[in-house]
A and B are shown apart, each in its own frame.
Chain A
Amino acid sequence: MDKKKSQQLIISVLLILFSCICYYLATKFVVTKTPGRLGPDFWPKMLCSLIIVFSVADIVLIYLNKDKQDSIEEVKTAEEEEVVAIDKKYPLLLIGGMVGTGVYIFLLPIIGFIVCTACYLAAIMFFGRYRNKKVIFGSSFIGSFILLMVFSKIVYISLPAGIGFFGEFTFLLYKLLGVS
């Protein structure tokens, strides 16, 4: 079995597991049943069953090798070969970006919007293979400052201020900006 098929298999199995858990949880909904009447568990159970049925069908078809996409051996033209060459993947950048975004959301309430966002913007630009340091630092710090201004003074949404020293820093900034 090739890599693509095994990945597809893993996804289908995960979907089945997820749906089974959801189905089980749906059986545990606290509800007084009225005989002959559909309850709040009907809809989720039906949807979970749908996912299970079609994911099982997917697995069966992968094994039977009847899936159209997998069974047709693709013959690459010169143009397609060129596209493949251009279509280079950067998995480390992707993982870095995902982890970085998770860390950013985690740190946002601790460090506060202004510092956290400036660092996050600079990090994404740098890991995104952009190397103009002036633009990176300038746009990330000025950008996050403008966003803070817009959201606090125009949109009136209180962005995370941070705790401890970072909180004091944000409030000082708010004071300077005239935000009450």
Chain B
Amino acid sequence: MDTFIQIISSLGQGLIADLNLVTLLMILVGALVGMICAAVPGLTLITGIILVLPFTYVMDATNAIILLTAIYLAGTYGGAFPAILFKIPGDPIHVPLLWDGYPMARQGLGAKALGWTLVSTISGGLFAIILLVLVSAPLAVVALKFSSPEYFAIVFLGLTSVLFLGDASLRHSIVSLALGLLISTIGVDAMFGVDRFTFNTDLLRGGIDYLNVLIGVYAVAEIFARMEQGFVAPSLKLVSKVKTTLPSFKEFSKLYATFFRSSILGTFIGFVPGAGATIASFLGYGVEKQIGKNRKQLGEGAPEGIMSSQVAATASVGGAMIPLLTLGIPGSGATAILMGAFLLHGIQPGPGIFMNNGPLIYAIYGSMFICLVVMIILGFLSVRPLMTILKAPEAVTSSFILVLCMLGAYALRSNIQDVWILFVFGLVGYVLTRFNYPTTPLVLGAILGPLAESSFLTTMISFHNDWTVLFTRPVSAVFMILAIISLCVAVLLPLLKKKVTI
């Protein structure tokens, strides 16, 4: 009970700390950028965070993280407008909205579809943020007792789960993951002080910043891919009025089962490293289609279809923040950039963050609640302006994104070599995608590689190369078993699918 009161009191202090002009402006700007980036095809919420990152270098840590978190949160919402009104998903997260949101709009219920999306976003976000606030501090206390075997087991679970979450071949996923882990070994080894793959260059001795890998593979490679498609602008045919009408409380309360199912699922998916809002959105819809009360109507304009995917997508944001803040393990591209922003400001996310930077964390939590309120306001006011932005020529926006990506890489160390590294990873990302190698495992490998290696080697050194220790300590054993299960699923799932096809 004392812990609960302490958490609520800290949250109250965090909320009060957020009530100043600069922080509120950061939340507003973040929510706007997130919504715009998610709405414009070719941009994603990760691109939005990447583009804003260099501007946060001069900010204080609290405002910088609040700005990036607001983009992350609002990015799960903005893409709903073009998906529902034009059948163009601004972000892959919103593809499931095409199946029910767009048909609803075609039936003349576009305003209601947008209303369901807004309510789902806010309710899903609220559920996950409340859970984040309540769970993270006690979890961090538990995590303080974790040692290298536990850390390795958790990271290993993250690395294996990314293998079965994608739809690429398992072989390609493993190769991509190993490449990412290999990239993370470049530089002076932290444990032995040995140069690895540095070719006697100072730049490589410092290692390859995972932000360069992430920006290159996600943003630059994506623009190269769109170049190959000739920057074809999607045709915009409006099928409904540009307006948002909220469902009544009675209508909402009828879907309480969908809400709870998707909220829990979304938060859990967010918690699992490697799985982000897109997977949460698809799984949320998939589960509803399997077990939902109104499952037969799904795909014909049912509110359950909108709610299941949208609630899960937004709830995944709160879920993804849990491992980042309590364990220092970023599980997705967006949280990896947030981790980078923390580190750039000299703050190490992990179990100690609540003791060393408690007010900062609760200010971030407070800002997430405020951001939801801002999103409600923007949900009513920004639909029309967002539709105008959709008409911006893609060649113009893409050229500016490329320059901003390169500026972001340059700003890391004020070194042009970093821009070359970014360019190389842009090419690598393009080639891998072109030949059906998924890039998410590569990025996750580059992010989690140093932690995976150091925790593994420390375990081996501390326990005299006895790998069974990973299975004899209760916490690490649980995570290792889960990792083995996810590996088995990754191996068996394609075989089962094949059998079903035959």
Contacts and interface: CB of A to CB of B under 8 A. Distances in A.
A and B: bona fide binding partners: yes
B189 A108 contact: no
A135 B399 CA distance: 13
A160 B194 contact: no
A139 B179 CA distance: 39
A20 B109 CA distance: 59
Contacts of A157: 54, 57, 407, 410-411, 414
Contact of A90 (B57, B228, B420, B426): B228
B171 interface: yes
B416 A105 contact: yes
A61 B407 CA distance: 43
Interface string A129-163: 11010011001100110010011001111111000
B240 interface: no
A161 B55 CA distance: 20
Contacts of B435: 7-8, 11
A139 B228 contact: no
A166 to B, nearest CB: 15
Contacts of A87: 229
Given A39-B192, A157-B411, A50 B230 contact: no
A130 B396 contact: yes
B330 to A, nearest CB: 20
Contact of B400 (A38, A39, A121, A156): A121
Q: Interface range on chain A: under 10, 10 to 19, 20 to 34, or 35 or more? A: 35 or more
Interface residues of B, number: 64
B206 to A, nearest CB: 16
Contacts of B287: none
A54 B178 CA distance: 10
B182 A31 contact: no
A130 B456 contact: no
Interface string A84-106: 00111111011001100110110
Interface in A101-136: 101-102, 104-105, 108-109, 117, 120-121, 124-125, 128-130, 132, 135-136
Contact of A159 (B195, B410, B457): B410
B208 interface: no
A174 to B, nearest CB: 16
A42 interface: yes
A134 B164 CA distance: 49
A128 B395 contact: yes
Contact of B427 (A43, A69, A98): A98
Given A42-B457, A44-B185, A50-B178, A22 B394 contact: no
B460 interface: yes
Nearest to B59: A155
A38 B395 contact: no
B145 interface: no
B465 interface: yes
Interface in B403-450: 403-404, 406-407, 410-411, 414, 416, 419-420, 423, 426-427, 431, 435-437
B324 to A, nearest CB: 24
A164 interface: no
Contact of B229 (A11, A90, A109): A90
Nearest to A93: B227
B237 interface: no
Contacts of A155: 54-55, 57-58, 411
A178 interface: no
Q: Which of B171, B197, B457, B465 has the most CB of A within 10 A?
A: B171
Contact of A135 (B227, B393, B400, B437): B393
Interface in B121-180: 169, 171-172, 174-175, 178-179
A55 interface: yes
A135 B427 CA distance: 29
A121 B196 CA distance: 37
A170 B132 CA distance: 48
Contact of A54 (B175, B403, B420, B426): B175
A113 to B, nearest CB: 9
B224 A98 contact: yes
Interface string A9-49: 00100010000001001100111000011111011100110
Nearest to A8: B435
B423 A128 contact: no
Q: Which of A15, A43, A132, A150 has the most CB of B within 10 A?
A: A43
Contact of A40 (B172, B182, B191, B228): B191
24 contacts: A40-B189, A40-B194, A43-B453, A44-B196, A51-B179, A55-B175, A68-B169, A69-B169, A88-B230, A90-B228, A93-B228, A93-B230, A94-B227, A98-B427, A101-B220, A109-B416, A117-B403, A121-B400, A128-B394, A151-B411, A155-B57, A155-B411, A157-B407, A158-B414
The 8 residue pairs across chains A and B that have the minimum distance between CB atoms: A128-B395, A124-B399, A130-B395, A90-B230, A94-B228, A40-B189, A97-B227, A40-B192
Given A109-B416, A124-B398, 4 more contacts: A29-B194, A105-B420, A143-B403, A144-B403
